[in-house]
Chains A and B, each alone.
Chain A
Amino acid sequence: MSVDLNTAITKEELLDLYKEMRLIRMVEQSAAKAYTLKKILGFCHLYIGQEAVVVGVQSVQIEGDSVVTSYRDHGHMLACDMDPKGVMAELTGREDGYSKGKGGSMHMFSREKGFFGGHGIVAAQVPIGAGLAFAHKYNGNKNVAITYFGDGAANQGQVYESYNIAALWKLPVIFVIENNKYGMGTSVNRSSAGDNLSDRGKAYGIVADIVDGMDVIAVRDAALKAMDYCRSGKGPYILEMKTYRYRGHSMSDPAKYRTRDEVDEIRQNSDPINNIKSILDKFGLKDENLKIIDTEIKSIIANAATFAQESPEPSEAELFTDITIN
């Protein structure tokens, strides 16, 4: 972990990063539990282990930026400041969920917060992100679109169609590849030719950086650099985040394709929350200080769970609403 304590980050900012990552992890743990209790059904893809990626990137976004991602989206919604109550109510299929209970885990949105989903088709969000960037450029604003996708999605043809268009038209889009080393059960080495996924932008002249996605400060710095580049009109940027998911692809994946030792090794030596804890320690913030934050988060989650439980299922009339706009 290479952290320059002189870097222009304040203790408060560090605490915010910790709080956000901790919130995501604890919401995901709570979602995992709710799934085993059959309160959440269907597909449920957890973000545990990857928290530093979205928290680091979103910590430097500005008002009006657009965000779009895949079905592993709970962390992204929280990092976009969406309310855990609405997220939990959606996960449990309730009327007060972000999609009125009609989207579920993979399909949540908040126009107000600039979060454009939540897409269940692998890589479909990549051209959509380029299109959101197109709208920013068309409107002449300084905003960027941040498009997250995994190493599995990185082999889809539409990613390269999007790279080509984004580079040709100099669209302000940051392609954030969350390389967690497995596309479902197939390791990146068994599915992807070449050394680094980020190299694949070279053919289109797209600048790319490889980032330690377990280090939230490194992620934040890389995102700042990429955003400055995009906002100045130079075109797209690729950030390949080397990260890791602790849980299976989805709740129903036993993850037999990797060893327990492999997962434990990362948890013990590279965990993004432990990493920021060690930095906070150098700022004089000890575990007991952080426990106060953890307690706050527990209360946020308990409230969200209660909110979701008390929210009714959508009315039957909702079946036929929102199909088209009249």
Chain B
Amino acid sequence: MSIEILMPALSPTMEEGTLSKWLVSEGDIVNSGDLLAEIETDKATMEVEAVDEGKVGQILISEGTEGVKVNTPIAILIGSNEAPHPTIKKIAENPYIEKAILPTKNKDKEILKTDSNSSFITVREALRNAMAEEMRADNNVFVMGEEVAEYQGAYKVTQGLLDEFGDKRVYDTPITEHGFAGVGIGAAFGNLRPIVEFMTFNFAMQAIDQIINSAAKTLYMSGGQMGCPIVFRGPNGAASRVGAQHSQCYASWYAHCPGLKVVTPWSSADAKGLLKSAIRDPNPVIFLENEVMYGQSFDCPNDQDFTLPIGKAHIERTGKDVTIISFSIMVGKSLEAAEILNDKGIDAEVINLRSLRPLDTETIINSVKKTNRVVTCEEGFPFSGIGSEISAVINENAFDWLDAPVTRVTGKDVPMPYAANLEKLALPQVDDIVNSCINVCNKS
């Protein structure tokens, strides 16, 4: 007998991990349930248990190897009385190894030139750096949320904050979103600057009354007395294969409401610059991150004073034929689409909105005047979505400049399905953006 032990998937979005430590050696007998190895993902370090029984015939991936893809064989289990099988491939011959040890490369175009003033870091690290820097600068800034302290963050975004700032600045809350959001708002009314992490924005619906009725409206209702300087942050939108209740984009829900600012970073620089601005902002800010983006790396300025203004969009790629307007994870997909379109003779401009409220209508309108064609792109549902709003803004302000109707690429108007094929159909894909652009350019 010979059974391949495969690199396990330990979370819905995990694609690779580090085999940090072997807990068995070649020749050891293992029983079902015995610990085999420690695997580190971008979320956590986990111990992997044996499912099958037998003898460790060969270890294929040595400990300390980074970037081991899920489903890569990492060891071979043989019968308890067998000698190692002679036909087992040596490590050097293992077809998975070369692939496994390659570091992850960001597929997206480099936005900033790497130099001594910037680092190639993940969105996750950029968010953490932003919080840590602002906490160092202002004692009134503190973090609260589910698993943000001792667990080091459900998605590791708050990793290390408890160690550096202690339990007077970093609070694990009970799993009671409505209550702890209200406590955060009260603390903000009391002149503190809370950062409230929701494990995901799906769970923030439990707290949405406090966010809208208490945080967003009280300044107005009090004639300007009751500022509420608070950041609500966490992953928003679809993760992967987690079904309808855990995969939804709330961008248009919050962007609908006066009194809130709504920020949607894409890259590491966006994440750092916008989160620092959000923490310094005297208003309630909804900071919509994306779980799939957490592990992606980009160049990011090291400067402690680096911020990006809330309310300003960024043109990620200039072009003259069509404007693709997107935010968050869809910016990367829009840039991929732009490259494909380039090969087809269409020169697309890609706008990263960065912030949805306030919306940078000036950048949008100026781009429309240049390209005369627009495709909006978002993960959320089409009905009353961000694309609908952008379309209305363009109609009201630049109707005469349009050569084609504004076209929306959105998630489908259905609850998110679980099955892989249906989930893919429900989410906007690069091809959808490409096809919409071809249509508005009349080049089909």
**Residue B441 at the A interface, CB < 8 A?**
no
Across the A-B interface, the 7 shortest Cβ-Cβ residue pairs: A131-B186, A161-B179, A127-B182, A135-B190, A100-B223, A128-B186, A161-B176
Q: Which residues of chain A from 289 to 326 have a CB within 8 Å of any chain B CB? A: 321-325
Does the CB pair B224–A322 fall under 8 Å? yes
**Residue A132 at the B interface, CB < 8 A?**
yes
Q: Which residues of chain B from 38 to 91 have a CB within 8 Å of any chain A CB? A: none
Does the CB pair A134–B178 fall under 8 Å? no
Q: Closest chain B residue to A100 by CB distance?
A: B223
**CB of B303 to closest CB in A, whole Å:** 25
Q: How far is the CA of A175 from the CA of B89 in the complex (A)?
A: 70
**Residue B118 at the A interface, CB < 8 A?**
no
- For residue A207, which residues in chain B have a CB less than 8 angstroms away from its CB? none
**Residue A280 at the B interface, CB < 8 A?**
no
Q: Which residues of chain B from 136 to 181 have a CB within 8 Å of any chain A CB? A: 142, 168, 171, 173-174, 176, 178-181
Does the CB pair B283–A131 fall under 8 Å? no
Binds A, one of B209-217, B333-341, B395-403: B209-217
- For residue B186, which residues in chain A have a CB less than 8 angstroms away from its CB? 68, 116, 127-135, 145
Does the CB pair A99–B214 fall under 8 Å? no
**1/0 contact string of A113-150 vs chain B (CB within 8 Å):** 00011111100101111111111101000000100000
Taking A117-B218, A165-B174 as contacts, is the C-beta distance between A138 and B180 under 8 angstroms? Answer: no
Which residue in A110, A116, A127, A131 is a CB contact (below 8 Å) of B178?
A: A127
Does the CB pair B178–A158 fall under 8 Å? yes
- For residue B259, which residues in chain A have a CB less than 8 angstroms away from its CB? 323-324
**Residue B261 at the A interface, CB < 8 A?**
yes
- For residue B220, which residues in chain A have a CB less than 8 angstroms away from its CB? 102, 322-323
- For residue A47, which residues in chain B have a CB less than 8 angstroms away from its CB? none
Q: How far is the CA of A321 from the CA of B219 in the complex (A)?
A: 10
Does the CB pair A162–B179 fall under 8 Å? yes
**Residue B365 at the A interface, CB < 8 A?**
no
Does the CB pair B168–A131 fall under 8 Å? no
Does the CB pair B224–A117 fall under 8 Å? no
Does the CB pair A157–B213 fall under 8 Å? no
Q: Which residues of chain A from 96 to 113 have a CB within 8 Å of any chain B CB? A: 97-103, 107-111
**Residue B183 at the A interface, CB < 8 A?**
yes
- For residue A62, which residues in chain B have a CB less than 8 angstroms away from its CB? none
- For residue B182, which residues in chain A have a CB less than 8 angstroms away from its CB? 124, 126-128, 130-131, 158, 161-162
**1/0 contact string of B218-240 vs chain A (CB within 8 Å):** 11111111110000000000000
Taking A131-B186, A325-B283 as contacts, is the C-beta distance between A165 and B180 under 8 angstroms? Answer: yes
- For residue B191, which residues in chain A have a CB less than 8 angstroms away from its CB? 135
**How many residues of A are in contact with the other chain, CB < 8 A?**
48
**Residue B27 at the A interface, CB < 8 A?**
no
**CB of A142 to closest CB in B, whole Å:** 14
**Residue A275 at the B interface, CB < 8 A?**
no
- For residue A325, which residues in chain B have a CB less than 8 angstroms away from its CB? 219, 224, 227, 282-283
Q: List 16 A-B contacts (CB under 8 A).
A: A66-B190, A68-B186, A101-B223, A103-B223, A108-B222, A109-B218, A130-B179, A131-B182, A132-B189, A158-B182, A164-B176, A165-B173, A165-B174, A322-B224, A325-B219, A325-B283
- For residue B226, which residues in chain A have a CB less than 8 angstroms away from its CB? 109, 111, 116-117
**CB of B329 to closest CB in A, whole Å:** 27
**CB of A91 to closest CB in B, whole Å:** 14
Q: How far is the CA of A119 from the CA of B191 in the complex (A)?
A: 19
Does the CB pair A138–B185 fall under 8 Å? no
**Residue A168 at the B interface, CB < 8 A?**
yes
**Residue B14 at the A interface, CB < 8 A?**
no
Does the CB pair B142–A131 fall under 8 Å? no
**Residue B184 at the A interface, CB < 8 A?**
yes
Q: Which residues of B contact A (CB under 8 A)?
A: 142, 168, 171, 173-174, 176, 178-192, 209-210, 213-214, 218-227, 258-259, 261, 282-283
- For residue A127, which residues in chain B have a CB less than 8 angstroms away from its CB? 178-183, 185-186, 210
Q: Which residues of chain A from 154 to 180 have a CB within 8 Å of any chain B CB? A: 157-158, 160-162, 164-165, 168-169
Does the CB pair A120–B213 fall under 8 Å? yes
Q: How far is the CA of A109 from the CA of B259 in the complex (A)?
A: 17
**CB of A100 to closest CB in B, whole Å:** 4
**CB of A65 to closest CB in B, whole Å:** 11
Taking A99-B221, A102-B223, A124-B213 as contacts, is the C-beta distance between A324 and B261 under 8 angstroms? Answer: yes
Does the CB pair A131–B185 fall under 8 Å? yes
- For residue A110, which residues in chain B have a CB less than 8 angstroms away from its CB? 225
**CB of A120 to closest CB in B, whole Å:** 7
**CB of B263 to closest CB in A, whole Å:** 13
Q: Closest chain B residue to A109 by CB distance?
A: B222
Q: How far is the CA of A97 from the CA of B223 in the complex (A)?
A: 9
Q: How far is the CA of A138 from the CA of B192 in the complex (A)?
A: 9
Q: Closest chain A residue to B230 by CB distance?
A: A131
Does the CB pair B213–A165 fall under 8 Å? no
Q: How far is the CA of A56 from the CA of B219 in the complex (A)?
A: 30
- For residue B219, which residues in chain A have a CB less than 8 angstroms away from its CB? 322-325
Does the CB pair B221–A131 fall under 8 Å? no
Q: Closest chain A residue to B283 by CB distance?
A: A324
Q: Closest chain A residue to B186 by CB distance?
A: A131
- For residue B181, which residues in chain A have a CB less than 8 angstroms away from its CB? 127
Does the CB pair A98–B179 fall under 8 Å? no
- For residue B209, which residues in chain A have a CB less than 8 angstroms away from its CB? 121, 124
Does the CB pair A130–B183 fall under 8 Å? yes
Q: How far is the CA of A126 from the CA of B223 in the complex (A)?
A: 22
Taking A109-B222, A325-B282 as contacts, is the C-beta distance between A134 and B190 under 8 angstroms? Answer: yes
**CB of A315 to closest CB in B, whole Å:** 12
